[in-house]
Structures are given as structure tokens and as C-alpha cells.
Amino acid sequence: MKVRLAAQVMSNTVAMALHRRYPQGDAGETAKFCEMVNKFFDCRNTRSTTEHIRKRNEFLAEYTSLDDSRFDWLQNVSLHSFRTGTRESKNDRVHLQVMKEERCSSCIKHTKG
């Protein structure tokens, strides 16, 4: 799958649509997963010093310090979820195959420098 297409599918827009379509939380875990992948892509795709202001998205801000809170998020939140391999929710009844730990770790190490 091309990254551009994955970014479109695993987006906040899709997450919001899932929340609206299934208000009782039937797709809550899938929506949370889409939001998490979207944040992961945003952390990896910082390219402007002002884009985060225009889009009101702190995950698009440039990295200015090794102590940036996004590194903690990448290592402790997203990586923990990606380590599970396949997620299954009783409510969603959806199986999602996600990145393996090695790929996530290398992405984080590359970002951190």
C-alpha cells in the first residue's frame, strides 16, 4: 500500500466519520486506531515551521529539542500499540494488521536522530 493512500484511510476524518456513524461506540477502537496512525504520520511528516499553526495540529510542529513530548508519545504510546501486531475489538469486530515493532523502532530512531 502506498503511504499516501494509507494516510488518507487512517486519518482523523475517517475517525470522525466512524464516531458519527456509530455513536454508541461500536467502532470506537477502530476510530482510536485511525487517530493514532494519523498522529504517527504527522510526527513523521513535519515539513514547515508554520503548518502546525495553520492546521491547528501540534503533531505537525517542527522538532526543536530532543526532549520533545512527541518522542515520548512515539515510544510509549504508539509503539506500545504497534507491538501488539493485530488488534481485535469485541465492539468493532475488525482485525487490523499493523506495523511490526522493528519498523516502528527504526522510524522513531531515524526521527530522533
Residue 60 confidence (pLDDT): 92
In 1-113, DSSP assigns E strands to 86-88, 95-97
pTM of the model: 0.66
pLDDT beneath 50: ranges in the chain: 85-102
- CA dist 34 and 9 (Å) reads 8
Residue 108 confidence (pLDDT): 58
- CA dist 71 and 63 (Å) reads 10
Grid-cell match 510509549, residue found:
76
Residue 111 confidence (pLDDT): 56
Buried b (16+ CB within 10 A) or exposed e, 33-57: bbbbbbbbbbbbebeeeeebeeeee
Sequence spans of domains, the chain: 1-62, 66-112
